[in-house]
Amino acid sequence: MHQLYLTVGPTRFRLASTWRRPLDQLAALYKDYPTSQDGYADFTVRLEPEKPWRRYFRPSVHISGDFWLPDAAPLPLDQSLLAAEMGMNLQMALGWRRHLLLHASSVEKDGKALLMTGLSGSGKSTLSAMLAEKGWRFMGDEFALLNPDTGMAHSFPRLISLKNEAIAAMQAIVPENRFGPLMKGTPKGDIRHIVPPLDAVNRMVDAAKPALLLFPRFGHDPALRDMGKSEIFVRLTQASTNYVALGETGFRALTQFVDTVPTRAMDYQSGDQAEELIDSLWSKLP
Amino acid sequence: MMRDAQPLVDALREPETVLSLDGAGWTNLISIARAESLIGSLAHRLAEIAVPEQVGPILKDAIQATDLARQQALWEADCARRALAPLNCKVVLMKGTAYVAADLDAGVGRSIGDLDIMVAQDSLPAVEEALLDASWEWVKPDPYDDQYYRKHMHELPPLIHRDRDRMIDVHHTTLPLTAKPTPNPQAMLDAAIRLESSLYVMAPADMVLHSVAHLFADGDLAGGLRNLWDIDRLVRQFAEADEGFWTELGVRARLHQLEPHLARALRLAARLYDTPVYKYRAGHAKFADYLYIRRLLARDGWGRETRKFTRQAFYIRSHWLRMPPLMLVRHLWTKWRKG
């Protein structure tokens, strides 16, 4: 097995793969991230053939590791970069306990964090990528990590995963050399990764105080709506991968978050509209 | 790269062995321990060891995760107790839930999945009905599987709770009815010990023997290292508390037709975990012990299953032990046709 160690935010991964390709791709895209050469890791991710003969013949990549799902579908070898990213996400979602994990994107300005959560297709990932090019520090497009003791948001800035139409939209503002390979026809559609801005990588251990939570929704007339605390709470329990696993700690962290962080539902039809709405809210924050 | 699970066994047996590990060695150990569901037990075992700062948080996570597993297991047991209370029948907790309910060393850091209980065979229909009334549902709606369980197995088809998403296995004995040894379930129920909660756990000797039966006569040794660790913890604690334990264990092993199985389990536990065993119960080493050890340690430092041939042989053997040959052929044929 080939291996590669990667550090993203607070987490150290050991990736092991039957093929060199996904690890070479990862090494190139994560070249500015800190490397750990001491051999320690919080999680091991494994990429292996689904069956022994599928190493060479119509190679298919089975994702597993310290934590795994019994029914994970294998991916073709030309999507092995996606498989590696999914493998790392899986370890976090099922195994990480040092923070409450919210399935949310996050960006920071002036030490304060903006979190965006919502269903797939809400545009939270694209919005965070866009804001990262406009003066905000990118903290993550997949998981926001809440420290249960301090309430602070921690960064998990892995590669930004763009889907379908978002790829062309971001190609307009991000230079080509920050893009990974285009993977067509994945289970989630066309996918292309971008490397976060260097500043996001250099400052990935800096925490920020959560200041605003948005539930963006793409494709509707621009609007901001208040939400009831109980609705916010329930939707965040659904957006958290480890709320149940943390038990009482998770409950305390989440209720404190809902009690203290201003929250809005935001409808928008374009990046410019979203940016305008976000700026209007941000400028009124205490 | 570590080629087998020996480092995990060493760390559990003698925690000081981890002091010689480098970073990669630790990462291997952790992957193996997670794969064998022994990470919580390992974390507790290393409580007194000065581990590297990169490792401390991983072990702390494992302790917290198993603390929660304990709490959830006890809650699940209490849910079952309340559902079955009107029936006034003995409900005996088994495996992990029993170890934590009785506050035994074997429960420290143990991962616990399903709730396993045992009731008298003649109260099965009432128990089934009471659980269905209390929002448990069938997991396997397949009629062949359902019939198979009811006719040949030692437990009802598994039930899952609609809201809590937790499984319960209701046993009426400890081994499939088609297996060769026939443990005496009535004797187990009669000797069971009542806890404060009014739930029961098996008496010490029976508890060890159930773990032994589970390890050898019912399965392909998957999870075997953990099962053997349970046996190590139980035997140490019971033998220390009661000097009549070894005698009682012999009497009960004969009663439940598990003498050779017990002997092998004790030899393997002594070999891997240095379990202090009474030599007349453990008997003489056999060549097959070596194959069992090979199978139990079949995992590499990436956390992968290894020794495919040995694993496959034990898998086939497990079916062989569960049912007579003709029945096995019929069963596999039906399963194969259903894909």
Last residue of a domain, one of A68, A95, A122: A95
Do strands B115-118 and B167-171 pair parallel, antiparallel, or not at all (unpaired)?
Answer: parallel
* Closest Cβ opposite residue A38 in set B23, B34, B35: B23
Last residue of a domain, one of A35, A60, A95: A95
Closest alpha carbon within chain B to A5: B24
Q: Mean pLDDT across chain B, nearest whole number?
A: 92
Closest alpha carbon within chain B to A99: B61
Q: Is the pTM of this model over 0.80?
A: yes
- Hey, what are A129's tokens? 């990528």
pLDDT tens readout for residues A88-98: 999 999 999 99
Distances in whole angstroms, Cα of residue B150 to Cα of each of B93, B121, B162, B219, B324: 21, 11, 22, 19, 17
A114 and A206 both lie in a single domain:
yes
Q: How many Cα neighbours within 13 Å face the side chain of A72?
A: 22
Residue pair B311/B220 in contact (Cβ under 8 Å)? The answer is yes
**Segment A233-251 mean pLDDT:** 96
Long-range CB contacts (within 8 A, 24+) of B152-157: B152/B176, B152/B177, B152/B178, B152/B323, B152/B327, B153/B177, B154/B218, B156/B124, B156/B128
Burial class (CB in 10 A: 0-12, 13-18, 19+), B198: exposed
A204 and A262 both lie in a single domain:
yes
pLDDT tens readout for residues B153-185: 788 888 999 999 999 999 998 887 777 788 999
Q: B35 and chain A: CB distance < 8 Å anywhere? A: yes
CA A144 to chain centre: 7
Closest alpha carbon within chain B to A48: B304
pLDDT reported for residue B156: 86
A129 and A252 both lie in a single domain:
yes
A86 and A113 both lie in a single domain:
no
Cβ distance of A39 and B65 shorter than 8 Å: no
A160 and A194 both lie in a single domain:
yes
pLDDT reported for residue B339: 61
pLDDT tens readout for residues B236-245: 999 999 999 9
| Beta-sheet strands, E only, within A78-157 | 100-109, 112-117, 137-140, 143-146, 153-154
- Hey, what are B138's tokens? 């069938």
Closest CA to A267 of A106, A123, A114: A123
How many domains does chain A fold into?
2
A121 and A229 both lie in a single domain:
yes
Chain B segment 223-262 residues within 8 A of A by beta carbon are none
A154 and A16 both lie in a single domain:
no
A91 and A104 both lie in a single domain:
no
Last residue of a domain, one of A69, A95, A121: A95
Burial class (CB in 10 A: 0-12, 13-18, 19+), B126: middle
A155 and A15 both lie in a single domain:
no
pLDDT tens readout for residues A194-218: 999 999 999 999 999 999 999 999 9
Chain A segment 76-115 residues within 8 A of B by beta carbon are 95, 97-98
Please determine, for residue B101, whether its predicted confidence score (pLDDT) is greater than 90. Answer: yes
Spatial distance between the Cα atoms of B263 and B285, rounded to a whole number of angstroms: 9
Structural domain that includes position A126: 100-283
Please determine, for residue A158, whether its predicted confidence score (pLDDT) is greater than 90. Answer: yes
Q: ipTM for the complex?
A: 0.94
A128 and A172 both lie in a single domain:
yes
A114 and A84 both lie in a single domain:
no
Spatial distance between the Cα atoms of B99 and B206, rounded to a whole number of angstroms: 13
A91 and A121 both lie in a single domain:
no
